[in-house]
Structure 1
Amino acid sequence: MRLILLVLVTLASCSKTSEPSAPPPTASAKDPAAGKRQIESGALVLDVRTLDEYQADSYPGAKHIPVDELGARMAEVGTDKSKPIVVYCASGNRAGKAKRELEAAGYTQVVNGGGLDDLR
């Protein structure tokens, strides 16, 4: 009987007592409001959608580098790694991937502007 009681007390002390917390927001979460502010301040606008999407409609003055080509074309983004950059795609998913890639390359002022419609 004591053995059973000891096992139960031990198991009870190992259980988690706090509620799980919400996961932290991802570093690549879209922020269209911040993107608009950065664009107004002169940020580089980077369209990471496909060529067909870019040719159909794009943000005025945006530089086009598809997300799948970004690593190979990083030099086109520029050497000033502190210059603000706003990346966008159709929904913010590819822009989030591009943001992470740019940050991994040392760019420090990168904003995921979300989708093209978010920035308008």
Structure 2
Amino acid sequence: MRAPAFSAAVVLSLLAVVPACSKDESAAPPGPSQQPAAQAGLPDRDPALARKLVAEGGILIDVRTPEEYAERHLDKATNIPVGEFEARLSEVEKLTGGDKSKPIVVHCAAGPRAARAKKILLGAGYTQVTNLGGINDWDAK
């Protein structure tokens, strides 16, 4: 018995339909088990929270340049420039006594460098990190 003859158009249309019917899991959005753990830390740009955390023993880190730090800095602030932050994580470990749940407040001049530092800290396993924003935000209500 001979196989039925199909025209090229029928074969091509079947080829176009068949992949559309198959389940392509790579295109599906990741499910809960595939998504990375959220790394939010603490709320950002909350001066009252930042002052409270530092008053209660949290660590305050100024991620601006040494020159900016020399011009003006907040009491109790440790200067670790964001450009050197990853290389100096051992200093953060000393400041926190190795406690990755100890609150850390980071700040810079306006907020973006502190956001980078917060991301680095969260990636290193620190969980209680907030970005104050800029140094002038410290005195905001």
Aligned residues with identical type, % of pairs: 49
Given the alignment of the two structures, is residue 106 of structure 1 paired with residue 125 of structure 2, yes or no? yes
The TM-score normalised by the length of structure 1 is 0.73
Show the counterpart of 1:52: 67
Q: Is the partner of 1:45 in helix, strand or coil?
A: strand
Give the paired residue count.
94
Larger Rg belongs to? 2
1:85 aligned partner: 104
Deviation of the 1:29 alpha carbon: 4.3
- Which of the residues 71, 87, 92 maps onto 2:86? 71
- Give the CA RMSD over aligned residues: 1.4
5+ long unaligned stretches in structure 1: 1-26
* 1:114 match: secondary structure: strand
3-state SS, counterpart of residue 87 of structure 1: strand
TM-score by length of 2: 0.63
Residue 101 of structure 1: how far off its partner (Å): 0.6
Does structure 2 conserve the Cα–Cα contact (< 8 Å) formed by 1:99 and 1:110?
yes
Q: Report if the CA contact (8 A) 1:84-1:110 is conserved.
A: yes
- Cα distance in 2 for partners of 1:89, 1:113 equals 8
